[in-house]
Structure formats: structure tokens, C-alpha cells
Structure 1
Amino acid sequence: MNAQVNELQVIDQNEIALAFNNDQGIQAIIDNIKAQVNEKFEGVVWDFSKKKDRDTVASLAYKVGRSKTAIDAEGKKLKEQYTVFTKKIDAERKLAREQLEAEQARIRKPLDEWEAAREAHIQAIKDRISAFDSGRVDAFSSSDLIKQVISEVEAIAIDESFEDFANEAAIKKDAALTSFKKSLEEALKREAEQAELERLRKEQLEREQRERDERIAKEAADKARLEAEAKALAEQRRVEREKQEAAEREARLIAEKKEAELRAQQAAVMERQRIEREQAAKEEAERKAEEARLSNVEHMRSINQAASKALIDLCVGLEEYQIKAVITAIARNQIPHVSIKY
């Protein structure tokens, strides 16, 4: 600050009460407050890095706020006493609130901006310090990640850019590096143990695979041997079966041939016997037929003779040869509707 800032004049309550009863009375008080602020504030170069300047501006803004509160409170009091002027008083109160709040904000704006920038700057420093958080990695993190974090932390120089937090940053950096290096030792040990376990596991898997391959190869060889033996046995049985079938077939052919020859012989005998029987039967039939014929001829002769004799007796004048011719024609069915009953 280049000049001394005097205290802001406190507004008298009676003056406020009178102002509420006069047109533009409150505005006059507001203008007076603004004038005092401008007189004490405008043109002053503030150094907010100094506590005195920060306190001065904050105090000035606070007193403007107190003036606002005093006017608002007095107006509220008068409103309760003079209900006739309620709307006017509320309007004046609103006027005071809006304008003095704006004035308060205008006064505080550079301080607020500086404080916001300062807060952002401090937060940026804290963000840098957060790189020293020992919880970023632990013993269960990979050693490569821990090494990377250690390199990042070691690369951060604790200098004046950390300002008031330099001591805190140095302590946290040392603590973080100590923690990270311990975690790295444990991670390397754990990874070495895991690598050894992995090596043993791979050896076991390879051993089991070899045993499995050997077992499969043996089973395949045994299977091939058994299949070959079964095939050879099947081939042997097939050959024996074919030999047996050939022998049985030959024996069957011989038997069938003998049976055919026997049947042929039997058929020949039976045929001969049949012929002999038929010949005998034929001769017997011929003999009987001859006997029957002879017997029938004699019978027919006697009937014909009887018929001839009867005709001779009946047909006087016919010669005997004529009567025999008639009888013969009748016997031979040469005369229609006339027959001899033998």
C-alpha cells in the first residue's frame, strides 16, 4: 500500500432513521459511504502478500457490510414502527442491500482474486507433494512400477518453488522413498519367489507332460501290438475257416455227387422197375383185353346169330347173307336209331 487508509466513518443510527423519512436519504448515505470508500480505497496499490494490506481491505469491506446491515436493520425496525411506509422502506432496504453488496464485492474483488490465485497456487504445490504419497505403491505392486515411481519421486527437486511447504515436502519425499524402497525389496523378493515357484511349476508340468506322452506312446504301442496280434489271429482264423469251409465244401460236393449218383442209380432202378411194371401191366391189360375181346366177340357172335335167326324166321324171302349184312351194319352203328343190345 502506498498511502495510509483511514477508518471508515460509522453511520449514526439516528441519521439512518432520518434518511428513511427523506426522499433520496438512504441514497445519500450510500453515496457518502461510496465516497469514503473511494477516498480511502481508490488509487491505492495493494500488496496482498502482506497481511496488513489483506487485513485492511478485509476490514474496509467488513465495515461496508456493517453499514449495509445497520441500514437494513434500522429499516426493518422502522418498518415495524411505521407500517404505512413498509413498501418504501423495503425498497430502500433492497436498494441498500444491492448497492452496498455490489460495493462490498467491488472492494473485495481484487482480494478475492488474489486469494483464489493464492489458493490455486498452494493447491498446485500440494498436488506436487501428493507425488510423495506412500500409498501410490506397496509390496504387492510390480517391481517395475515401484522403480518407476521411485525414479519419478527422486527426479522432483525440493526447491524454493515449494515455498512454505518445502520442509513438509522434503519430509514426505524422504518418507516416501524409504517406504518405496522397502516395498521394492519386498516386491523383488516376492517376484523372485514367484519366479522360482513358476520355474518349479513349469518343470512339474513338463515332467507330467513327458510322463503323459510316454504313457500315451506306450498305450499306443500296446494298442498297436494288440491290434496286430488280433489281426494276425483273425487272419489265421480266417485262413483256417476258409480251409475248413473248402474241405467241408469239397466233402459236401463229394457227398452230393455220391448222393446224386445214388439217386441216379435209384432213379434208374425205379425207372426200370416202372417200365417193367408198366410193361407187365400193359401185357396184363392186353391179355385181359384180349380175353375180354375174345369173350365179347363170342358174346356178340351169339347175340348176332340169335338176331340173324330171328330175322330169318321173320323175313321170309331174305337170303342169309343179306340178314348178316343187316346185322353187321346195325352192330357197326351204320343204321340210325337202330342198335343191338348186347
Structure 2
Amino acid sequence: MSEVTDLVVIEKSNAMAVFTTKEQLDPLIEKIEKEARSLVPDVTTRKGRDAIASMAHKVARSKTYIDNAGKDLVAELKALPKQIDESRRIVRERLDALKDEVRRPLTEWEAEQERIAAEKAAEEERMRIEAEEKAALEALKKQFESDHEMALLMNEKFDRDAQEKSEQAERQRIAHEENLKRQAAEQAKREMEEKAERERAEAARRESELKLKADQAERDRVAAEQKAEADRKAAAEKAEREKQEAIAAEKRKAQEAADKVRREAEAKEAARLAEEKRIADEAAAREADVKHRKAVGTEIVNALTSNTSITRDQAIEVLAALKDGLIPRTKINY
């Protein structure tokens, strides 16, 4: 929307307001209408006709500019296609009508010039034919004059015949001229009627095109409404699906978290039980070792007291010295 026209400028920051509020769009179009209608049409001069064509071109450029601005906005704001397209339709119809309105004096002048040219051509053709007929008549008159001179030498009857021929030729000339005039007038009349018929047909065609455009715009509007409704339903269904999927995902996430907590608790409990078992096994092993060591010590003490003359207390002292490694080259094998 960077293009600048001679009649209107739409800032990008204000484009939304222009196409979505009638209070913004109407003054914009009215500004173009005021500027266009301020031109006083003058088809009598080349400058005046160029001014009319230039103003019509400016209106067309403004229509294209505003329409393109609407297209850009539609591309940027997919959520507002219906309202923007409606604004574009209003701009196209009103500015097309304004363009035709502004150019109408020039169009009518051009049609009038074509009619004048056709009449001029018909008049020139008539004058050419009259000139040819006049030349032929002059030649005939000269011939008649020559014949008359010769007829003076002839009898009265020959003179009467010559006079009758002259009168007959004059009557034929007058009748021929009248016939040429009538044909030229009829030709000009036919051409004017044909032109009027073409203009009526063209007007009917334009009216038909406008009606077709209006019907197409209505169909487009209905289709846009239907599409918007379908999009709304699809969006609602998608939102519901996403909501249900999000709920299911949250449930899965919660279940996974609960499973993780459960697994961690089970792992901790298993570790705790394993640690308790390890401690119990170590305690049992230590207790068994103590018992074993006591049994070995008792056997040693009993063997010393049985096989030597030392007392039990002395045997216990020897056992303690063996356990503490105080006696070289000796070791208790448990």
C-alpha cells in the first residue's frame, strides 16, 4: 500500500479502519467524488477533453489503488475477508459509476463527432455526385447547343425533337439529383438509427454486465458467509479436539508422573529393604564370625590346658597374644 494516487492516500496503519468502518470509507469515496465532480467538463477544446480523460483515469487509478489496498489487507487479515471484500465491492461499483459519470461528456462528444463525421462524409459524397452530374449536364448542354446550331439548318420538326430531348434530359437530371439527395438523407438517417441502436445495445450490455456483477457479488457474499460459517465450525471442532487432546495429554502426563513417583517409591523401598538385608546379613556374618572365633579360641584354650601344664587363665593370655600377633611365626587359622 505504498502507492500514492492523485486523489486519495491510505496509510497502512489506518487501512483497517478505512475498510471496516463506513464512517472512514464514505469520506474517502466522497473526497474522490468531490474532486472528480469539481471538474467543469469542456469538450469544445483539446485541453478540456484531455482534462476529462485525465480525471476519469485518476478515478480509475484511485479505484484500483483502494481495491489493491483492500486486497493487501485481506491477505494480512484473514479474519476479516467478508467486510473488506464488501468494502472493495462498494469502491469498485461506485468508482466505476463515477468514472462513467465523469467521462460521459467526453463519450457523448465523441459520439457526436462520429455522427458529424458521418454526415460530413455523406454530404461530401452527395456534392461529388452533384459535381459529376453537373459536369455531365454541362457537356450535354454543350452537345445540345452544337446540335441546335446544326438544327437551324434542319426543319421545324427536328427542332421540336431536339427541344423535347433537352427537356427530357433536364427532367432526368432534376430527378437524378432529387434521388441522390433522398438517398443521402436516407443513408444519414440509417446511420444515425444504427448508431442509436448500437448505443442502446451497448447500454443494455453494460446494464446486463452490472447486473451479472451484482449477482456474482451476491453469490460471492453468500459463499463467503458459508465459508466463514464452515471455517467457524471447523475452528470450533478443532478447538474442541485440541481441548480433548490437551486434557488427555494432561491425564497421561499426570499418570506418567504418578507412575514415576510410584516407581521411585518402589525403588527407594527396594533399596531400603536391600540395605536392611545387607546390614542384617553383615550383622549375622559378624555374629557368626564371633561365634566361630569364640569356638576356635575355646578349642585352643582347651588344647593348651589339656596338653600343657598352664592354667586356663594362662591359656587365655596365650590366646590373646596369638590373636594380637605377639608370638612370632604363629597364626590362628579360623
Q: TM class, shorter-chain normalised?
A: 0.3 to 0.5
TM-score for the superposition, normalised by structure 2: 0.39
Bigger radius of gyration among the two = 1
